[in-house]
Amino acid sequence: MFSFRTTPFSLQEDSVLRKGRIGVLCNQAAWHPETGEYLFETLARRGNLKKIFSPEHSLYGKLVDGVETIEVASTIEASDLNDIDALVIELQDVGSRYSNYTSLLFNIFKFLKVTDSSLSVFILDRLNPSGRQIEGTLGIIGLPHRHGLTLGEVANMFYTELNAKFPLHIISANAESVNRELMAWTIPPFSDFSGLFTSHFYSGQCLWRGTNVSYGHGTNRPFEQFGAPFLEPLFEYNRKNGFSGWNDPENPVSNASLNIRWTRFVPAYGIYQNETCFGFQLMFVPGVPYHALNHALQLLRFIHDNFAEFDCSSLNRYLEDATLMSYVEGNIDWDSTREYIKAEEQKWLRKSKKFALYGDEPIRVK
């Protein structure tokens, strides 16, 4: 049973919510300005909240007296779902399949399907901070690198493709005042997702996590800058190769949608903690569309071709695509790769229409 509801969660009258044993899966973004409370605090006042499931690296420690708090990683254990009647989910997703919240949702749905569970699932949908733009190729769970859907729409896709039967109820993002009163990135869904621009770089710059280049982890500009100690020779690159600067249209790292600044930074934690990293800061040109994945692939190829120290052996964990990996490693050209990505994106545009819930649909930036 599936329903898409346009009234706020607080007005839902399902008996399972009023009388059943409730579990809630949420992170720190599930805070509501109209109540001044986190979702789990509001549910606890009703008296039937039994468990709080907290994703890794979100809220820490015991949250409500008398209510068990369980930290979850890739899924929720079967034993933790057996004694609840409904699971309420409110997670601020970030619009990319790299997100742990997306894979967590898929794993929960898959478990409920396989076990023929009758657990009622309620999803309080949130706006996608990355908007409707899409990028990339279809991965293992059927989503491109940047998918252009809300978490509720992704849930709709998982539910449909798994042919699941458990009761799923999605509360429209338009029904909840929090989506009108707070921007989607106001409360960071995780520590490295720190602002408006993060969402537009994330689908590309996240790929550095599969390499030995820092994505700016441990700085105040994660995913907007990247670098490594071994990239210090970048300082001499333009002089040696006859480019006027990094934004020279002929420069292999340039992009018409960005200003690119050569920089150095020292991460406070993470890879290269307290070491000087040399690299770039990426800055939008206002009003110009940007395809973060395409540009990131070109940057990866540039580093691969120019620095023997570069290690991308773990990159395909994020790419999930042999063709894209082959491009980064220098085995195929950019024109062929771009056409391949275009075909995959068009495939996703056709598919995603079936799961959009808000009257608009994902779009492709050329």
Q: Residue 36: give its domain's CATH number.
A: 3.40.50.12170
Whether the per-residue pLDDT at 61 is higher than 70: the answer is no
**pLDDT digit string, tens, across residues 64-120:** 888 999 999 889 998 999 999 999 999 999 999 998 899 999 999 999 999 999 999
At residue 190, the pLDDT reads 82
Residues 215 and 307 in one domain: yes
Distance CA 143, CA 13 (A): 33
Whether the per-residue pLDDT at 58 is higher than 80: the answer is no
**pLDDT digit string, tens, across residues 19-44:** 999 999 998 999 999 999 999 999 99
Residues 143 and 263 in one domain: no
User: Considering the domain boundaries, does residue 290 fall inside one?
Assistant: yes
**pLDDT digit string, tens, across residues 265-313:** 999 999 999 999 999 999 989 889 999 999 999 999 999 999 999 999 9
Residues 79 and 181 in one domain: yes
Q: pLDDT band at residue 259, thresholds of 50, 70 and 90? A: very high
User: Considering the domain boundaries, does residue 337 fall inside one?
Assistant: no
Q: Residue ranges of the alpha helices (H) in 9-145?
A: 15-19, 39-46, 78-81, 100-114
User: Considering the domain boundaries, does residue 327 fall inside one?
Assistant: no
* Mean pLDDT in residue range 193-203: 85
First to last CA, the chain: 38
Dihedral of the alpha carbons of 266, 262, 338, 157, in degrees to the nearest 10: 40
Residues 203 and 185 in one domain: no
Task: Take residue 168 and report the two structure tokens written for it.
Answer: 């799923």
For 97, the 3-state DSSP assignment is coil
Residues 177 and 248 in one domain: no
Average pLDDT taken over every residue of the chain: 94
Specify the pairing of strand 86-90 against strand 120-124: parallel
Residues 127 and 205 in one domain: no
Whether the per-residue pLDDT at 326 is higher than 90: the answer is yes
**pLDDT digit string, tens, across residues 334-358:** 999 999 999 999 999 999 999 999 9
Residues 145 and 241 in one domain: no
Residues 297 and 358 in one domain: no
Length of the chain: 366
Q: What is the CATH number of the domain that holds 274?
A: 3.90.1150
Per the structure, the count of domains in the chain is 2
Whether the per-residue pLDDT at 362 is higher than 70: the answer is yes
Structural domain of 8: 2-189+353-364
Whether the per-residue pLDDT at 188 is higher than 90: the answer is no
Residues 357 and 284 in one domain: no
* Mean pLDDT in residue range 246-265: 96
Residues 179 and 219 in one domain: no
Locate tokens 């903690």: which residue?
Answer: 273
At residue 341, the pLDDT reads 98
User: Considering the domain boundaries, does residue 328 fall inside one?
Assistant: no
Distance CA 158, CA 105 (A): 9
User: Which range is most confident: 64-73, 119-128, 193-202?
Assistant: 119-128
User: Considering the domain boundaries, does residue 283 fall inside one?
Assistant: yes
User: Considering the domain boundaries, does residue 106 fall inside one?
Assistant: yes
User: Considering the domain boundaries, does residue 341 fall inside one?
Assistant: no
User: Considering the domain boundaries, does residue 288 fall inside one?
Assistant: yes
Residues 167 and 262 in one domain: no
Residues 84 and 54 in one domain: yes
- Tell me the DSSP string of 256-311: TTEEEEEEEE--SSSTTTTS-EEEEEEEEPTT----HHHHHHHHHHHHHHH-TT--
Count CB-CB contacts under 10 A for residue 258: 21
At residue 325, the pLDDT reads 98
